[in-house]
Chains A and B, each alone.
Chain A
Amino acid sequence: MDVIEYRNALGKLTPLSFTWTDGTKFEIDEVLDVCRAASLKVGGFGQRYKVRISNDEKEIYNKIRYMYLEEGEPIERWFIEAK
Chain B
Amino acid sequence: MERTILHSDLNSFYASVECLYNPSLRGKPVSVCGSVENRHGIVLASTPEAKKFGIKTGDAVWQAQQKCKELVIVEPHMDRYIRHSKATREIYSDYSPCVEPYGLDENWIDLTGTDHLFGSGAIAADEIRKKIFKELGVTVSIGVSFNKSMAKLGSDMRKPDFTNIISKDNFKEVVWPLPASDLLFVGRATTKKLWDMGISTIGQLANTSPDFIKRRLGKNGIGVWQYANGIDDDPVSVTGYKREIKSVGNSTTAPRDLITPDEIRVTTMILAESVAERMREKNFKCQVVQVYIRYSNLMSFERQVKLPFPSCTAQRIGNTATNLILDNWTDTMPLRSIGVRACNLLSSEYPQLSLLPEVQLEQKQEDLEVAMQDIRRRFGHFAVQRGIMIADPHLSDLDPRREDSAQTVAFFKG
The residues of A with any CB-CB pair to B shorter than 8 Å are: 35-45, 72
Contact = CB atoms under 8 A, between A and B. Distances in A.
Contacts of B138: 38
A44 B135 contact: no
A45 B23 contact: no
Contact of B137 (A35, A40, A72): A40
Interface in B99-157: 133-138
B20 A72 contact: no
Given A45-B87, A72-B83, A37 B23 contact: no
Contacts of A37: 134-135
Interface string B167-200: 0000000000000000000000000000000000
29 contacts: A35-B135, A36-B135, A37-B134, A37-B135, A38-B20, A38-B133, A38-B134, A38-B135, A38-B136, A38-B137, A38-B138, A39-B137, A40-B20, A40-B23, A40-B26, A40-B137, A41-B23, A42-B23, A43-B21, A43-B22, A43-B23, A44-B20, A44-B21, A45-B20, A45-B87, A45-B135, A45-B136, A45-B137, A72-B83
Contacts of B84: 45
Nearest to A43: B21
Contacts of A72: 83
Q: Which of A37, A38, A39, A72: most chain B Cβ within 10 A?
A: A38
Contacts of B20: 38, 40, 43-45
A40 B84 CA distance: 15
A35 B26 CA distance: 24
A38 B19 CA distance: 12
Given A40-B26, A45-B84, 20 more contacts: A37-B135, A38-B20, A38-B133, A38-B134, A38-B135, A38-B136, A38-B137, A38-B138, A40-B20, A40-B137, A41-B23, A42-B23, A43-B20, A43-B21, A44-B20, A44-B21, A45-B87, A45-B135, A45-B136, A72-B83
Contacts of B21: 43-44
Nearest to A42: B23
A37 B133 CA distance: 8
A41 to B, nearest CB: 6
Nearest to A70: B83
A38 B16 CA distance: 13
Contacts of B135: 35-38, 45
A36 B135 CA distance: 5
A72 B84 CA distance: 11
A13 B305 CA distance: 57
A43 B135 CA distance: 12
A36 B84 CA distance: 13
A45 B137 CA distance: 7
Contacts of A35: 135
B121 to A, nearest CB: 24
B22 to A, nearest CB: 6
Closest 5 pairs between A and B when the two form their complex, measured CB to CB: A38-B137, A36-B135, A43-B21, A43-B23, A38-B136
Contacts of B137: 38-40, 45
B291 to A, nearest CB: 35
